[in-house]
Structure 1
Amino acid sequence: MQCPFPSARSESVNLTKKMRNNLIAYLLLTPWLAGFVIMYLIPMGISIYYSCTDFNLLNVPQFIGLSNYNRIFLQDDTFYQALKVTFTYVLILVPFRLAFALGVAMLLNKKYRGIGIYRTCYYIPSIIGGSIAVSVVWKQIFGNQGVIMSILSAMGIEQKTSLLGNPNTALLVIILMGIWQFGSSMLIFLSALKQIPLSLYESADVDGARSVIKFLKITIPMLTPTIFFNLILQIINGFRVFTESYVITNGGPLDSTLSYVLYLYRRAFTYFDMGYSCALAWVLVAIIAMFTIVLFKTQKNWVFYESEEES
């Protein structure tokens, strides 16, 4: 005997199958979701609460409202110095790092013998560049008894202080180290360059376009999504700079290399002002979020997406 409602039975089977698939998906996601809640959401909530308290790890947190934020913006001159240093670092580092990354990527986007070795060599600084060991080496190179000072002395240029001891040049040394770590951006650019259709360059050659014109009219527009992606990543990483300032100069001389995160670290683990440091952390989150929102809002004016052109 046939079922009087075959369509209803079919819908019930499909619904049961869909529910089973959803259940399996959620079970597979459970470890990640649990880790996200335990390692991110709960600490974030605790940090927001601590930012509104007077807490030094020894006493019970006392709720003080927005007093920490008021103190940051109205009473803390060191906060503005750290912010100035970090903004200077980001505004100089990001354009130069992306420019070097794109330039090297274009050089490596050619067929040379042993090109894989060259790519690996250029990427190595990004792997080890943020390590303490490399920061120590960098400190020795530009220190009082370092290679740079020895070369200047051999050339007859005597310096009373090293480049790291001079407030006017110390930050530039740290920025130079950051620019040197362009390997990850270079690989992203290299991958994007390989996706540009050769037919576009061939058509430009037929029209007699020069290399500069092809770069400005083909390469750059086709790379704008990648530039946008790299720009956001490098801005976020720039604001999070810590190891270089901590190991090479420890924020000196005269706080000329005191990065924002280093100042936050000092407030937390030198002065044990945990409530204040949490407030500093959330101010940094707000600054990074502001930059990210501005970039996303303005991308329609300069980022070219091939799918949008086709539609």
Structure 2
Amino acid sequence: MSRIAAEHDIHASYAAGKVKRKRNRFLSRWETPGLGYLFISPWLVGFLLLTLYPMLLSLYYSFTDYTLMKPIKWVGLRNYERIFTADDKFLQSVKVTFLYVLGSVPLKLIFALFIAVVLNKAVKGISAYRVAIYFPSLIGGSIAVSMLWRNIFGVDGFINSVLDKFGIEGSGWISNPKTALWSLILLSVWQFGSAMVIFLAGLKQIPKDLYEASSVDGANRFVQFFRITLPMLSPTLYFNLIMGIIGAFQMFTSAYVITNGGPMNSTLVYAVYLYERAFNRYQLGYASSLAWIMLVMIAIVAAAIALTSKYWVFYETDTGRGKRK
């Protein structure tokens, strides 16, 4: 019996070793770097052809006089010199863009956080409310919504009709230089759904024990919000802030469809001015310079926020206020 058992163990060990060798060969075949590049090749090809190559080409064009009407001519830094020294519309577009960013991004984040806190409840049918509130963000950036917004804030639009019933004389909100930009800011705030969903996901990660312990210590909801919710939600807030600023700097559809930069260039955001130079005047080299200036501006603002984040963004690994491991 011992001999039979020994032979059985030998055969079992041999079979196990054979299976292990086959498994190792299989794994080694799938762990080769070349196979990994094969899997990411669709994304890699798309990135090289649709992102990196156009960026490098636009960088080259930014140093040329490229107008589609004549051969490309290398001009060096002349486009950038003209932009900073002789282009009044550039300064106006930068001013309008920063006003739009400063007005739309904070209001949008505040409103999105407020709605996320309201929807962070375990009540019946809450999912339906979340979907209904998020829905405007799916269509908010479309041309149709921009045209609808233009009609709502027009001289004979819905807003003035409501005001007229209360005996208040309205105005042309989008035709008045003092209020036109605020009409675009309100449209941006209305598209708060994406930020709200991210805030809601962040709220779900906050331990309930913190609120229960603070309630025992006598903290009310106001104190809990500023002492627990905001600090714990600061990484999510940081992400939404960066993404919101990048999106606001690139805002185009609403300003182009609703006001087309008017009246009196009061809504001439940077992207609309870039489009005007590129596709109305066909100054593609000049427009490429404007595009790279925009990239640098966004990078500077994002870097400034990143440098200050250590004072107001807190993670679970923090050992103290403003300090990280």
**TM-score normalised by L of structure 2:** 0.88
Correspondence 1:183 to 2:183: no
Deviation (angstroms), 1:147: 1.1
Q: Counterpart of 1:158 in structure 2: which amino acid?
A: E
- Match for residue 123 of structure 1? 134
Structure 1 residue 295: Cα displacement: 1.5
CA distance in 2, matches of 1:157, 1:301: 47
2:28 aligns with: 17
Q: Which residue of 1 aligns with 2:15?
A: none
Q: Which residue in 2 is equivalent to 1:134?
A: 145
**Larger CA deviation: 300-309 vs 221-230:** 300-309
Determine which structure has more spread, i.e. the larger CA radius of gyration: 2
Within-5 A mapping of 1:44-193: 44-159=55-170, 161-193=171-203
Letter in 1 for 2:65: D
Question: Root-mean-square deviation (CA), in Å?
Answer: 1.8
Quick check: 258-267 or 37-46, which moved more?
37-46
Match of 2:302 in 1: 292
Letter in 2 for 1:223: L
Question: Which consecutive unaligned segments of at least 5 residues does structure 2 have?
Answer: 1-20
Match of 2:9 in 1: none
* Structure 1 segments unaligned to the other structure (5+ residues): 1-9
Give the Cα separation in 2 of the matches to 1:224 and 1:183.
18
How big is the shift at 1:231? 0.3
Q: 1:20 to 1:194 in 2, by over 3 A?
A: closer
**Runs of 4 or more consecutive aligned structure 1 residues displaced over 4 Å after TM superposition:** none
Greater Cα offset, 223-232 or 145-154: 145-154
User: How many angstroms apart in 1 are the aligned matches of 2:248 and 2:147?
Assistant: 20
Alignment partners' CA distance in 2, 1:295 and 1:252: 31
Spell out, residue by residue over 1:169-228, the C-alpha distance to the aligned partner (whole angstroms, 9 max, x if none): 011011001001100000000011010000101110111111111111100000000000
Corresponding letter in the other structure for 1:31? P
Q: Does 1:239 align with 2:249?
A: yes
Q: Distance in 2 between matches of 1:57 and 1:172?
A: 36
Change (3 A) 1:41 1:217: same
| 2:41 equivalent in structure 1 | 30
Moved more, 221-230 or 294-303: 294-303
Alignment-mate amino acid for residue 84 of structure 1: K
1:196 is matched with 206
Aligned match of 2:292: 282
Provide TM-score, normalisation by structure 1: 0.92
Distance 2:143 2:167 in 1: 32
Matches within 5 A, 1:183-262: 183-262=193-272
How far the C-alpha of 1:67 sits from its partner, in A, is 0.5
User: How far apart, CA to CA, are the structure 2 residues paired with 1:261 and 1:43?
Assistant: 17
Q: After superposition, give the CA deviation of every residue in 1:259-304 in whole Å (9 maximum; x if it has no partner).
A: 1000000000000000000000000000000011112222111110
**Aligned AA (2:228):** I
Q: Percent identity?
A: 50
Write the distance in 2 (CA, Å) between the matches of 1:112 and 1:70.
60
Q: Which amino acid aligns with 1:232?
A: I
Query: 2 CA distance for matches of 1:204 and 1:27?
Result: 53
How many residue pairs match? The answer is: 298
Aligned equivalents of 1:247, 1:191: Cα separation in 2: 33
C-alpha deviation, 1:20, in angstroms? 4.8
